[in-house]
Structure 1
Protein backbone atom coordinates (compact mmCIF):
# COMPACT_ATOMS: atom_id res chain seq x y z
CA UNK A 1 0.00 0.00 0.00
CA UNK A 2 1.12 3.52 -0.78
CA UNK A 3 1.52 5.84 2.22
CA UNK A 4 0.03 9.29 1.67
CA UNK A 5 1.40 11.97 4.00
CA UNK A 6 -1.22 13.90 5.95
CA UNK A 7 -1.20 17.70 5.96
CA UNK A 8 -3.38 20.25 7.71
CA UNK A 9 -3.24 24.03 7.92
CA UNK A 10 -1.76 25.97 9.58
CA UNK A 11 1.48 24.26 8.68
CA UNK A 12 5.22 24.78 8.73
CA UNK A 13 7.36 24.28 5.62
CA UNK A 14 10.90 22.97 5.94
CA UNK A 15 13.41 24.28 3.42
CA UNK A 16 16.63 22.39 2.77
CA UNK A 17 18.80 22.01 -0.33
CA UNK A 18 19.90 18.46 -1.13
CA UNK A 19 20.91 19.79 -4.55
CA UNK A 20 21.60 23.48 -5.16
CA UNK A 21 21.25 26.12 -2.51
CA UNK A 22 20.73 29.83 -3.06
CA UNK A 23 23.83 32.05 -3.32
CA UNK A 24 23.89 35.24 -1.29
CA UNK A 25 23.10 37.48 -4.25
CA UNK A 26 19.79 35.65 -4.71
CA UNK A 27 18.76 35.44 -1.06
CA UNK A 28 15.90 37.90 -1.77
CA UNK A 29 14.23 35.07 -3.71
CA UNK A 30 14.06 32.93 -0.57
CA UNK A 31 12.95 35.84 1.57
CA UNK A 32 10.31 36.73 -1.02
CA UNK A 33 8.96 33.17 -0.97
CA UNK A 34 8.87 33.22 2.82
CA UNK A 35 6.95 36.49 2.87
CA UNK A 36 4.47 35.28 0.28
CA UNK A 37 3.84 31.96 2.01
CA UNK A 38 3.49 33.60 5.41
CA UNK A 39 0.61 35.62 3.97
CA UNK A 40 -1.00 32.31 3.03
CA UNK A 41 -0.76 31.01 6.58
CA UNK A 42 2.53 29.09 6.51
CA UNK A 43 5.65 29.37 8.60
CA UNK A 44 9.06 28.40 7.24
CA UNK A 45 12.06 26.76 8.90
CA UNK A 46 15.26 26.95 6.85
CA UNK A 47 18.18 24.57 6.96
CA UNK A 48 21.66 26.03 6.56
CA UNK A 49 22.06 24.46 3.11
CA UNK A 50 19.25 26.59 1.68
CA UNK A 51 21.44 29.71 1.98
CA UNK A 52 24.71 28.42 0.49
CA UNK A 53 26.07 27.42 -2.91
CA UNK A 54 29.58 26.41 -4.01
CA UNK A 55 30.80 24.39 -6.99
CA UNK A 56 27.35 23.31 -8.26
CA UNK A 57 26.01 22.23 -4.87
CA UNK A 58 24.80 23.77 -1.64
CA UNK A 59 27.38 21.88 0.46
CA UNK A 60 29.31 18.59 0.49
CA UNK A 61 27.06 15.55 0.07
CA UNK A 62 27.23 14.37 3.69
CA UNK A 63 26.51 17.88 4.97
CA UNK A 64 23.50 18.18 2.69
CA UNK A 65 22.19 14.82 3.90
CA UNK A 66 22.61 15.81 7.55
CA UNK A 67 20.80 19.10 6.96
CA UNK A 68 17.96 17.29 5.16
CA UNK A 69 17.48 14.86 8.04
CA UNK A 70 17.57 17.64 10.62
CA UNK A 71 14.81 19.49 8.78
CA UNK A 72 12.50 16.64 7.77
CA UNK A 73 12.74 14.99 11.19
CA UNK A 74 12.03 18.26 12.99
CA UNK A 75 8.72 17.76 14.78
CA UNK A 76 7.68 21.32 13.95
CA UNK A 77 8.10 20.77 10.19
CA UNK A 78 4.96 19.48 8.45
CA UNK A 79 6.29 19.18 4.89
CA UNK A 80 9.31 20.09 2.82
CA UNK A 81 9.93 22.21 -0.30
CA UNK A 82 13.52 22.66 -1.55
CA UNK A 83 14.44 26.11 -2.90
CA UNK A 84 14.78 24.67 -6.42
CA UNK A 85 16.55 21.85 -8.26
CA UNK A 86 20.17 21.82 -9.36
CA UNK A 87 22.69 19.28 -10.58
CA UNK A 88 24.10 16.84 -8.02
CA UNK A 89 21.43 15.57 -5.66
CA UNK A 90 22.41 12.02 -6.66
CA UNK A 91 25.61 12.45 -4.60
CA UNK A 92 23.57 12.54 -1.40
CA UNK A 93 21.62 9.29 -1.77
CA UNK A 94 24.27 7.08 -0.19
CA UNK A 95 24.41 9.43 2.81
CA UNK A 96 20.67 9.34 3.48
CA UNK A 97 19.03 6.91 5.89
CA UNK A 98 15.80 6.11 4.07
CA UNK A 99 14.47 4.33 7.15
CA UNK A 100 14.59 7.65 9.00
CA UNK A 101 12.61 9.59 6.39
CA UNK A 102 9.13 10.16 7.85
CA UNK A 103 5.90 10.23 5.89
CA UNK A 104 5.84 13.95 5.09
CA UNK A 105 5.16 15.57 1.75
CA UNK A 106 8.16 16.65 -0.29
CA UNK A 107 7.33 18.93 -3.23
CA UNK A 108 9.63 19.89 -6.09
CA UNK A 109 10.91 19.05 -9.55
CA UNK A 110 14.06 19.02 -11.70
CA UNK A 111 16.98 17.53 -9.72
CA UNK A 112 14.68 17.14 -6.71
CA UNK A 113 12.81 14.44 -8.63
CA UNK A 114 15.73 12.06 -7.97
CA UNK A 115 14.88 12.19 -4.27
CA UNK A 116 11.13 12.04 -4.88
CA UNK A 117 11.27 8.94 -7.08
CA UNK A 118 13.82 7.21 -4.84
CA UNK A 119 11.63 7.68 -1.75
CA UNK A 120 8.50 6.40 -3.47
CA UNK A 121 10.25 3.40 -5.01
CA UNK A 122 12.08 2.33 -1.85
CA UNK A 123 9.59 3.26 0.88
CA UNK A 124 6.21 3.42 -0.84
CA UNK A 125 5.71 6.97 0.43
CA UNK A 126 3.92 9.26 -2.02
CA UNK A 127 5.91 12.32 -3.14
CA UNK A 128 4.83 15.41 -5.07
CA UNK A 129 6.32 16.46 -8.41
CA UNK A 130 5.42 20.12 -8.90
CA UNK A 131 6.50 23.67 -8.24
CA UNK A 132 9.56 24.67 -6.21
CA UNK A 133 9.82 27.20 -3.42
CA UNK A 134 11.23 30.24 -5.20
CA UNK A 135 8.39 30.12 -7.74
CA UNK A 136 5.90 30.63 -4.92
CA UNK A 137 7.16 34.11 -4.11
CA UNK A 138 4.64 36.00 -6.23
CA UNK A 139 1.80 38.16 -5.01
CA UNK A 140 -0.54 35.58 -6.53
CA UNK A 141 -0.41 32.13 -8.15
CA UNK A 142 -1.77 31.06 -11.50
CA UNK A 143 -4.58 28.51 -11.22
CA UNK A 144 -2.42 25.56 -12.30
CA UNK A 145 0.45 26.23 -9.89
CA UNK A 146 -1.92 27.03 -7.03
CA UNK A 147 -3.28 23.47 -7.09
CA UNK A 148 -0.18 22.26 -5.19
CA UNK A 149 -1.83 23.29 -1.95
CA UNK A 150 -5.17 21.58 -2.58
CA UNK A 151 -3.41 18.41 -3.65
CA UNK A 152 -1.13 18.22 -0.59
CA UNK A 153 -4.16 18.80 1.64
CA UNK A 154 -5.99 15.87 0.01
CA UNK A 155 -6.41 13.01 2.47
CA UNK A 156 -5.75 9.31 1.94
CA UNK A 157 -8.83 7.75 0.36
CA UNK A 158 -9.84 10.97 -1.39
CA UNK A 159 -9.45 12.12 -5.00
CA UNK A 160 -8.43 15.40 -6.59
CA UNK A 161 -8.88 16.74 -10.13
CA UNK A 162 -6.63 19.05 -12.14
CA UNK A 163 -7.03 20.55 -15.59
CA UNK A 164 -4.48 21.65 -18.14
CA UNK A 165 -3.44 25.28 -18.05
CA UNK A 166 -4.79 27.90 -20.41
CA UNK A 167 -1.37 29.46 -21.09
CA UNK A 168 2.26 28.53 -20.53
CA UNK A 169 5.60 30.33 -20.37
CA UNK A 170 7.84 29.99 -23.42
CA UNK A 171 10.80 31.85 -21.91
CA UNK A 172 11.70 33.86 -18.83
CA UNK A 173 11.33 37.63 -18.93
CA UNK A 174 13.18 38.63 -15.77
CA UNK A 175 13.02 42.33 -16.61
CA UNK A 176 9.23 42.33 -16.47
CA UNK A 177 8.08 40.19 -13.54
CA UNK A 178 4.39 39.40 -13.21
CA UNK A 179 2.39 39.19 -9.97
CA UNK A 180 2.43 35.38 -10.32
CA UNK A 181 6.12 35.17 -11.35
CA UNK A 182 5.55 33.38 -14.65
CA UNK A 183 5.15 35.15 -17.99
CA UNK A 184 2.30 33.05 -19.38
CA UNK A 185 1.96 33.97 -23.06
CA UNK A 186 1.53 30.80 -25.15
CA UNK A 187 -1.63 28.75 -25.58
CA UNK A 188 -1.37 25.35 -23.91
CA UNK A 189 -2.14 22.27 -26.00
CA UNK A 190 -1.80 18.74 -24.67
CA UNK A 191 -1.13 16.44 -27.61
CA UNK A 192 -1.33 12.72 -28.35
CA UNK A 193 0.86 10.62 -30.62
CA UNK A 194 -2.26 9.05 -32.13
CA UNK A 195 -3.83 12.42 -32.87
CA UNK A 196 -6.99 11.11 -31.21
CA UNK A 197 -8.44 11.55 -27.74
CA UNK A 198 -6.66 9.31 -25.22
CA UNK A 199 -7.44 7.99 -21.75
CA UNK A 200 -4.81 6.37 -19.54
CA UNK A 201 -4.95 4.87 -16.06
CA UNK A 202 -2.22 3.69 -13.71
CA UNK A 203 0.10 4.42 -10.81
CA UNK A 204 2.08 7.57 -11.43
CA UNK A 205 5.87 7.46 -11.41
CA UNK A 206 8.33 9.86 -13.00
CA UNK A 207 10.39 13.00 -12.86
CA UNK A 208 13.08 14.85 -14.78
CA UNK A 209 14.48 12.25 -17.16
CA UNK A 210 17.90 13.94 -17.23
CA UNK A 211 18.48 12.84 -13.64
CA UNK A 212 16.07 10.05 -12.67
CA UNK A 213 17.68 7.86 -15.35
CA UNK A 214 20.73 7.66 -13.07
CA UNK A 215 18.70 5.62 -10.56
CA UNK A 216 18.72 2.68 -12.99
CA UNK A 217 20.71 -0.22 -11.57
CA UNK A 218 20.98 1.31 -8.10
CA UNK A 219 19.18 0.29 -4.87
CA UNK A 220 17.07 3.43 -5.27
CA UNK A 221 15.65 2.59 -8.70
CA UNK A 222 14.20 -0.92 -8.32
CA UNK A 223 10.89 -0.48 -10.13
CA UNK A 224 10.12 -4.21 -10.13
CA UNK A 225 10.45 -4.40 -6.34
CA UNK A 226 8.21 -1.34 -6.02
CA UNK A 227 5.54 -2.96 -8.19
CA UNK A 228 5.66 -6.23 -6.28
CA UNK A 229 5.68 -4.62 -2.84
CA UNK A 230 3.37 -1.65 -3.14
CA UNK A 231 1.07 -1.83 -6.19
CA UNK A 232 1.01 -5.54 -7.11
CA UNK A 233 -0.64 -6.00 -10.53
CA UNK A 234 -1.57 -2.38 -11.18
CA UNK A 235 0.09 -0.76 -14.22
CA UNK A 236 2.47 2.18 -14.06
CA UNK A 237 1.70 5.45 -15.81
CA UNK A 238 5.01 7.21 -16.38
CA UNK A 239 5.55 10.96 -16.64
CA UNK A 240 8.78 12.65 -17.68
CA UNK A 241 10.11 16.11 -18.35
CA UNK A 242 13.26 16.87 -20.30
CA UNK A 243 15.47 19.73 -19.14
CA UNK A 244 18.54 19.57 -21.37
CA UNK A 245 18.68 16.29 -23.33
CA UNK A 246 18.94 16.24 -27.11
CA UNK A 247 16.33 14.12 -28.86
CA UNK A 248 18.85 11.33 -29.40
CA UNK A 249 19.95 11.39 -25.75
CA UNK A 250 16.28 11.36 -24.77
CA UNK A 251 15.83 8.28 -26.95
CA UNK A 252 18.90 6.58 -25.47
CA UNK A 253 17.68 7.26 -21.94
CA UNK A 254 14.24 5.83 -22.66
CA UNK A 255 15.79 2.77 -24.27
CA UNK A 256 17.92 2.21 -21.17
CA UNK A 257 14.81 2.41 -19.00
CA UNK A 258 13.05 -0.05 -21.29
CA UNK A 259 15.97 -2.50 -21.24
CA UNK A 260 16.18 -2.18 -17.45
CA UNK A 261 12.55 -3.28 -17.15
CA UNK A 262 11.16 0.04 -16.00
CA UNK A 263 8.40 -0.07 -18.61
CA UNK A 264 7.06 -3.52 -17.80
CA UNK A 265 3.33 -3.28 -17.00
CA UNK A 266 3.23 0.28 -18.33
CA UNK A 267 -0.19 1.63 -19.32
CA UNK A 268 0.93 4.89 -20.88
CA UNK A 269 3.43 7.71 -20.84
CA UNK A 270 3.32 11.50 -20.54
CA UNK A 271 5.96 14.05 -21.47
CA UNK A 272 6.16 17.69 -20.44
CA UNK A 273 6.88 20.61 -22.71
CA UNK A 274 10.59 21.14 -23.26
CA UNK A 275 12.77 23.85 -24.74
CA UNK A 276 15.47 21.17 -25.19
CA UNK A 277 13.54 19.28 -27.87
CA UNK A 278 15.76 20.28 -30.80
CA UNK A 279 15.88 17.76 -33.62
CA UNK A 280 19.07 15.85 -34.40
CA UNK A 281 19.54 15.10 -38.09
CA UNK A 282 15.80 15.41 -38.58
CA UNK A 283 14.99 13.19 -35.58
CA UNK A 284 12.45 15.06 -33.47
CA UNK A 285 10.92 14.62 -30.04
CA UNK A 286 7.69 13.65 -31.78
CA UNK A 287 9.63 10.85 -33.49
CA UNK A 288 10.86 9.69 -30.09
CA UNK A 289 7.33 9.61 -28.73
CA UNK A 290 6.00 7.79 -31.80
CA UNK A 291 8.74 5.16 -31.67
CA UNK A 292 8.05 4.58 -27.98
CA UNK A 293 4.30 4.30 -28.49
CA UNK A 294 4.72 1.75 -31.26
CA UNK A 295 7.32 -0.35 -29.44
CA UNK A 296 5.47 -0.53 -26.14
CA UNK A 297 1.98 -0.49 -27.68
CA UNK A 298 0.87 2.23 -25.29
CA UNK A 299 -0.70 5.67 -25.68
CA UNK A 300 1.72 8.60 -25.34
CA UNK A 301 0.71 12.17 -24.65
CA UNK A 302 3.06 15.13 -24.68
CA UNK A 303 3.47 18.86 -24.11
CA UNK A 304 1.68 18.50 -20.80
CA UNK A 305 2.08 20.98 -17.92
CA UNK A 306 5.16 19.42 -16.36
CA UNK A 307 8.73 20.64 -16.05
CA UNK A 308 10.85 23.63 -16.94
CA UNK A 309 8.26 25.46 -19.06
CA UNK A 310 5.73 26.41 -16.37
CA UNK A 311 3.11 26.24 -15.05
CA UNK A 312 2.96 22.70 -13.74
CA UNK A 313 0.28 20.36 -12.56
CA UNK A 314 1.23 18.56 -9.36
CA UNK A 315 1.71 14.85 -10.01
CA UNK A 316 1.93 12.45 -7.07
CA UNK A 317 4.37 9.57 -7.35
CA UNK A 318 2.43 6.49 -6.25
CA UNK A 319 -1.09 7.86 -6.72
CA UNK A 320 -3.56 6.10 -9.02
CA UNK A 321 -4.36 8.48 -11.86
CA UNK A 322 -6.87 8.73 -14.66
CA UNK A 323 -5.67 11.02 -17.43
CA UNK A 324 -7.81 12.17 -20.34
CA UNK A 325 -6.71 14.29 -23.29
CA UNK A 326 -9.23 15.60 -25.78
CA UNK A 327 -9.17 18.57 -28.18
CA UNK A 328 -5.88 19.82 -26.73
CA UNK A 329 -7.17 19.88 -23.16
CA UNK A 330 -6.13 17.56 -20.38
CA UNK A 331 -7.69 16.35 -17.15
CA UNK A 332 -5.83 14.47 -14.42
CA UNK A 333 -7.76 12.79 -11.61
CA UNK A 334 -5.55 11.41 -8.84
CA UNK A 335 -6.87 8.91 -6.31
CA UNK A 336 -5.01 8.62 -3.02
CA UNK A 337 -5.63 4.94 -2.57
Structure 2
Protein backbone atom coordinates (compact mmCIF):
# COMPACT_ATOMS: atom_id res chain seq x y z
CA UNK A 1 0.00 0.00 0.00
CA UNK A 2 1.30 3.43 -0.96
CA UNK A 3 0.00 6.82 0.10
CA UNK A 4 -1.09 8.97 -2.83
CA UNK A 5 -0.23 12.27 -1.13
CA UNK A 6 -0.26 13.87 2.31
CA UNK A 7 -2.80 16.20 3.86
CA UNK A 8 -3.92 17.26 7.31
CA UNK A 9 -6.76 14.98 8.38
CA UNK A 10 -5.50 11.40 8.63
CA UNK A 11 -6.03 11.64 12.38
CA UNK A 12 -9.73 11.14 11.64
CA UNK A 13 -8.85 7.54 10.68
CA UNK A 14 -7.89 6.60 14.24
CA UNK A 15 -11.32 5.18 15.23
CA UNK A 16 -11.25 3.04 12.06
CA UNK A 17 -7.76 1.56 12.37
CA UNK A 18 -7.89 -1.82 14.12
CA UNK A 19 -4.52 -2.83 15.57
CA UNK A 20 -5.54 -6.48 15.84
CA UNK A 21 -6.55 -6.52 12.17
CA UNK A 22 -3.30 -4.85 11.10
CA UNK A 23 -1.34 -7.38 13.14
CA UNK A 24 -3.27 -10.35 11.77
CA UNK A 25 -2.99 -9.22 8.14
CA UNK A 26 0.27 -7.24 7.90
CA UNK A 27 0.87 -5.22 4.75
CA UNK A 28 3.72 -3.03 3.58
CA UNK A 29 2.61 0.60 3.87
CA UNK A 30 4.68 3.49 2.45
CA UNK A 31 4.04 7.18 3.01
CA UNK A 32 5.15 10.31 4.80
CA UNK A 33 3.81 13.66 6.04
CA UNK A 34 0.16 13.17 7.15
CA UNK A 35 0.56 9.42 6.60
CA UNK A 36 2.62 9.46 9.81
CA UNK A 37 -0.72 8.78 11.55
CA UNK A 38 -1.08 5.42 9.77
CA UNK A 39 2.62 4.59 10.05
CA UNK A 40 2.42 4.95 13.83
CA UNK A 41 -0.59 2.61 14.05
CA UNK A 42 1.32 -0.06 12.11
CA UNK A 43 4.21 0.28 14.55
CA UNK A 44 1.89 0.08 17.56
CA UNK A 45 0.53 -3.14 16.08
CA UNK A 46 4.06 -4.52 15.79
CA UNK A 47 4.22 -4.24 11.99
CA UNK A 48 7.13 -2.54 10.21
CA UNK A 49 6.12 0.59 8.28
CA UNK A 50 7.97 2.58 5.66
CA UNK A 51 8.47 6.34 5.81
CA UNK A 52 9.03 7.07 2.15
CA UNK A 53 7.76 8.52 -1.10
CA UNK A 54 4.11 8.98 -1.98
CA UNK A 55 2.66 8.36 -5.43
CA UNK A 56 2.27 11.95 -6.58
CA UNK A 57 5.33 13.47 -4.99
CA UNK A 58 8.16 11.10 -5.96
CA UNK A 59 6.88 7.88 -7.50
CA UNK A 60 5.11 9.77 -10.29
CA UNK A 61 8.11 12.06 -10.73
CA UNK A 62 8.05 14.06 -13.95
CA UNK A 63 10.62 12.51 -16.24
CA UNK A 64 10.57 9.25 -14.29
CA UNK A 65 11.33 8.16 -10.73
CA UNK A 66 14.66 9.48 -9.50
CA UNK A 67 17.36 6.75 -9.25
CA UNK A 68 18.09 7.79 -5.65
CA UNK A 69 14.43 7.31 -4.68
CA UNK A 70 14.26 3.95 -6.48
CA UNK A 71 17.45 2.71 -4.82
CA UNK A 72 16.18 3.80 -1.39
CA UNK A 73 12.98 1.79 -1.85
CA UNK A 74 14.85 -1.28 -3.05
CA UNK A 75 17.24 -1.15 -0.10
CA UNK A 76 14.48 -0.64 2.48
CA UNK A 77 12.53 -3.63 1.15
CA UNK A 78 15.63 -5.79 0.87
CA UNK A 79 17.12 -8.19 3.38
CA UNK A 80 20.75 -7.03 3.53
CA UNK A 81 22.22 -4.30 5.76
CA UNK A 82 23.00 -1.08 3.92
CA UNK A 83 24.29 2.43 4.52
CA UNK A 84 22.15 5.47 3.95
CA UNK A 85 23.81 8.05 1.73
CA UNK A 86 23.25 11.74 0.95
CA UNK A 87 21.40 12.51 -2.27
CA UNK A 88 23.62 13.74 -5.13
CA UNK A 89 21.05 16.46 -5.87
CA UNK A 90 17.81 17.74 -4.40
CA UNK A 91 14.85 20.03 -5.04
CA UNK A 92 11.80 21.56 -3.38
CA UNK A 93 10.23 22.55 -6.71
CA UNK A 94 6.61 21.55 -7.17
CA UNK A 95 5.16 19.46 -9.98
CA UNK A 96 2.17 20.25 -12.20
CA UNK A 97 0.32 16.94 -12.21
CA UNK A 98 -2.48 18.24 -14.47
CA UNK A 99 -0.21 19.38 -17.30
CA UNK A 100 0.26 16.26 -19.42
CA UNK A 101 2.95 17.94 -21.51
CA UNK A 102 4.99 18.65 -18.38
CA UNK A 103 5.11 15.02 -17.30
CA UNK A 104 8.29 14.41 -19.26
CA UNK A 105 9.96 17.64 -18.13
CA UNK A 106 12.33 16.99 -15.25
CA UNK A 107 12.26 19.34 -12.30
CA UNK A 108 15.24 21.59 -11.67
CA UNK A 109 17.58 20.10 -9.07
CA UNK A 110 20.53 21.63 -7.26
CA UNK A 111 23.71 19.86 -6.15
CA UNK A 112 23.48 17.85 -2.96
CA UNK A 113 24.74 19.58 0.19
CA UNK A 114 25.44 16.50 2.30
CA UNK A 115 24.63 15.76 5.92
CA UNK A 116 25.51 17.75 9.03
CA UNK A 117 26.61 15.88 12.15
CA UNK A 118 25.53 18.10 15.03
CA UNK A 119 26.94 16.20 17.98
CA UNK A 120 28.02 12.83 19.34
CA UNK A 121 31.40 11.16 19.79
CA UNK A 122 30.25 7.55 20.00
CA UNK A 123 27.91 5.40 17.92
CA UNK A 124 24.28 4.93 18.84
CA UNK A 125 22.08 2.02 17.78
CA UNK A 126 18.40 1.22 18.12
CA UNK A 127 15.11 0.65 16.37
CA UNK A 128 14.02 3.42 14.02
CA UNK A 129 10.88 5.44 14.86
CA UNK A 130 9.52 8.80 13.79
CA UNK A 131 7.87 10.78 11.03
CA UNK A 132 6.52 14.27 10.41
CA UNK A 133 7.02 16.27 13.58
CA UNK A 134 3.77 18.23 13.21
CA UNK A 135 1.74 15.03 12.90
CA UNK A 136 3.52 13.36 15.80
CA UNK A 137 2.58 16.39 17.89
CA UNK A 138 -1.00 16.19 16.58
CA UNK A 139 -1.14 12.60 17.88
CA UNK A 140 0.02 13.66 21.35
CA UNK A 141 -2.55 12.70 23.96
CA UNK A 142 -4.64 10.64 21.52
CA UNK A 143 -5.03 6.84 21.33
CA UNK A 144 -2.80 6.97 18.25
CA UNK A 145 0.26 8.27 20.09
CA UNK A 146 3.20 5.92 20.49
CA UNK A 147 3.55 4.98 24.17
CA UNK A 148 6.77 6.28 25.77
CA UNK A 149 8.13 2.77 26.29
CA UNK A 150 8.29 2.18 22.52
CA UNK A 151 10.77 5.04 22.29
CA UNK A 152 13.17 3.41 24.76
CA UNK A 153 16.47 2.86 22.93
CA UNK A 154 15.05 4.16 19.65
CA UNK A 155 16.65 6.30 16.97
CA UNK A 156 14.18 9.11 16.33
CA UNK A 157 13.68 10.41 12.78
CA UNK A 158 11.96 13.79 12.41
CA UNK A 159 10.98 15.83 9.35
CA UNK A 160 9.09 19.12 8.94
CA UNK A 161 6.38 19.87 6.39
CA UNK A 162 5.64 22.66 3.93
CA UNK A 163 3.89 24.47 6.81
CA UNK A 164 7.45 25.51 7.74
CA UNK A 165 7.28 25.46 11.54
CA UNK A 166 9.77 27.88 13.05
CA UNK A 167 13.02 26.60 14.58
CA UNK A 168 11.68 27.68 17.97
CA UNK A 169 8.50 25.65 17.48
CA UNK A 170 10.54 22.56 16.67
CA UNK A 171 12.49 23.26 19.85
CA UNK A 172 9.24 23.44 21.84
CA UNK A 173 8.14 20.06 20.46
CA UNK A 174 11.49 18.57 21.44
CA UNK A 175 11.02 19.98 24.94
CA UNK A 176 7.66 18.22 25.04
CA UNK A 177 9.41 14.90 24.33
CA UNK A 178 11.96 15.72 26.99
CA UNK A 179 9.13 16.34 29.48
CA UNK A 180 7.73 12.90 28.59
CA UNK A 181 11.15 11.34 29.15
CA UNK A 182 11.51 10.36 25.49
CA UNK A 183 14.68 12.30 24.62
CA UNK A 184 16.44 10.86 27.64
CA UNK A 185 15.84 7.31 26.32
CA UNK A 186 16.87 7.75 22.69
CA UNK A 187 19.92 6.17 21.05
CA UNK A 188 20.16 8.69 18.21
CA UNK A 189 18.39 11.39 16.23
CA UNK A 190 17.95 11.80 12.46
CA UNK A 191 16.76 15.21 11.25
CA UNK A 192 15.50 15.67 7.71
CA UNK A 193 16.37 18.59 5.45
CA UNK A 194 13.87 21.21 6.69
CA UNK A 195 11.39 22.19 3.98
CA UNK A 196 11.60 25.82 2.73
CA UNK A 197 14.09 26.88 5.41
CA UNK A 198 16.59 29.65 4.75
CA UNK A 199 20.21 29.04 5.79
CA UNK A 200 19.58 31.31 8.77
CA UNK A 201 16.55 29.29 9.86
CA UNK A 202 18.50 26.06 9.51
CA UNK A 203 21.29 27.44 11.68
CA UNK A 204 18.72 28.45 14.31
CA UNK A 205 17.15 25.00 14.16
CA UNK A 206 20.50 23.43 14.97
CA UNK A 207 20.94 25.84 17.89
CA UNK A 208 17.55 24.79 19.24
CA UNK A 209 18.25 21.09 18.87
CA UNK A 210 21.53 21.31 20.72
CA UNK A 211 19.97 23.56 23.39
CA UNK A 212 17.10 21.19 24.17
CA UNK A 213 19.34 18.12 24.16
CA UNK A 214 21.67 19.86 26.60
CA UNK A 215 18.69 20.68 28.82
CA UNK A 216 17.74 16.99 28.71
CA UNK A 217 21.27 15.91 29.62
CA UNK A 218 21.79 14.38 26.18
CA UNK A 219 24.87 16.16 24.87
CA UNK A 220 26.15 12.64 24.17
CA UNK A 221 23.35 11.76 21.73
CA UNK A 222 24.56 11.25 18.12
CA UNK A 223 22.61 13.59 15.85
CA UNK A 224 22.79 13.86 12.07
CA UNK A 225 20.84 16.56 10.21
CA UNK A 226 19.97 17.52 6.64
CA UNK A 227 19.17 13.91 5.79
CA UNK A 228 17.23 13.29 2.58
CA UNK A 229 13.82 12.09 3.76
CA UNK A 230 10.40 13.67 4.14
CA UNK A 231 9.45 16.86 2.32
CA UNK A 232 12.39 16.87 -0.07
CA UNK A 233 13.08 15.18 -3.41
CA UNK A 234 14.54 12.70 -4.03
CA UNK A 235 13.94 11.03 -0.70
CA UNK A 236 15.09 7.99 1.20
CA UNK A 237 12.74 5.27 2.44
CA UNK A 238 13.15 4.65 6.16
CA UNK A 239 12.01 1.20 7.37
CA UNK A 240 10.46 2.16 10.69
CA UNK A 241 10.96 -0.59 13.24
CA UNK A 242 14.25 -1.73 11.68
CA UNK A 243 17.58 -1.45 13.48
CA UNK A 244 19.79 1.51 12.63
CA UNK A 245 23.25 2.56 13.78
CA UNK A 246 24.56 6.13 13.77
CA UNK A 247 28.34 6.45 13.77
CA UNK A 248 29.33 10.14 13.99
CA UNK A 249 33.07 9.38 13.82
CA UNK A 250 32.81 7.37 10.61
CA UNK A 251 29.96 9.53 9.31
CA UNK A 252 27.85 6.45 8.63
CA UNK A 253 24.19 5.52 9.11
CA UNK A 254 23.65 1.77 8.71
CA UNK A 255 20.24 0.08 8.49
CA UNK A 256 19.29 -3.57 9.06
CA UNK A 257 15.86 -3.95 7.32
Flag the structure with larger Rg: 1
Same fold (TM over 0.5): yes
Task: Report SS of the residue matched to 1:284.
Answer: helix
Structure 1 residues 145 and 310: alpha-carbon distance in aligned structure 2, compared to 1, 3 A threshold: same
Which residue of structure 2 lines up, in the alignment, with residue 253 of structure 1? 173
Matches within 5 A, 1:42-121: 80-101=1-22, 102-120=25-43
Work out the CA distance in 2 between the residues paired with 1:185 and 1:282: 17
Q: How far 1:159 moved relative to its partner?
A: 2.4
Alpha-carbon displacement from aligned partner over 1:253-301 (angstroms, at most 9, x marks no partner): 1111221232242112111111344699998212112213323221222
Three-state SS of the structure 2 residue aligned to 1:111 is helix
Residues 10-63 of structure 1, C-alpha deviations (whole Å, 9 max, x = no match): xxxxxxxxxxxxxxxxxxxxxxxxxxxxxxxxxxxxxxxxxxxxxxxxxxxxxx
Query: Closer, same or farther in 2 for the Cα pair 1:199/1:277, shift >3 Å?
Result: farther
1:246–1:278 CA contact under 8 A, matched in 2: no
Q: Secondary structure at the match of 2:187?
A: strand
1:291 — aligned with what?
A: 211
Question: 1:115–1:225: structure 2 CA closer, same or farther, 3 Å change rule?
Answer: same
Instruction: Report the alpha carbon displacement of residue 147 of structure 1 after superposing the two structures with TM.
Output: 2.3
Distance between the aligned counterparts of 1:315 and 1:145, measured in 2?
11
**Equivalent in the alignment of 1:238:** 156
Equivalent residue number for residue 145 of structure 1:
69
Aligned: 1:271 with 2:196 = no
Go from structure 1 to structure 2 and tell me whether the alpha carbon gap of 1:117 and 1:140 turns closer, same or farther (over 3 Å shift): same
Query: Does 1:164 find its partner at 2:86?
Result: yes
Specify whether residues 87 and 262 from structure 1 end up closer, same or farther in structure 2 by C-alpha distance, changes over 3 A only. Answer: same
Q: Distance in 2 between matches of 1:323 and 1:178?
A: 38
What is residue 225 of structure 2 aligned with on the other side?
A: 302
- Rounded to whole Å, the distance in 2 between the matches of 1:289 and 1:103 is 35
Contiguous gaps of at least 5 residues in structure 1: 1-79, 228-233
Query: Considering only aligned residues, what root-mean-square deviation do their CA atoms show, in Å?
Result: 3.0
Change (3 A) 1:125 1:264: farther
| Structure-2 separation of matches of 1:287 and 1:110 | 24
Q: CA deviation at 1:95?
A: 2.2
TM-score under structure 1 length normalisation: 0.64
Q: Gaps spanning 5+ residues in structure 2: where?
A: none
Q: Deviations over 1:187-212 (max 9, x none)?
A: 22200224x88743221111000111
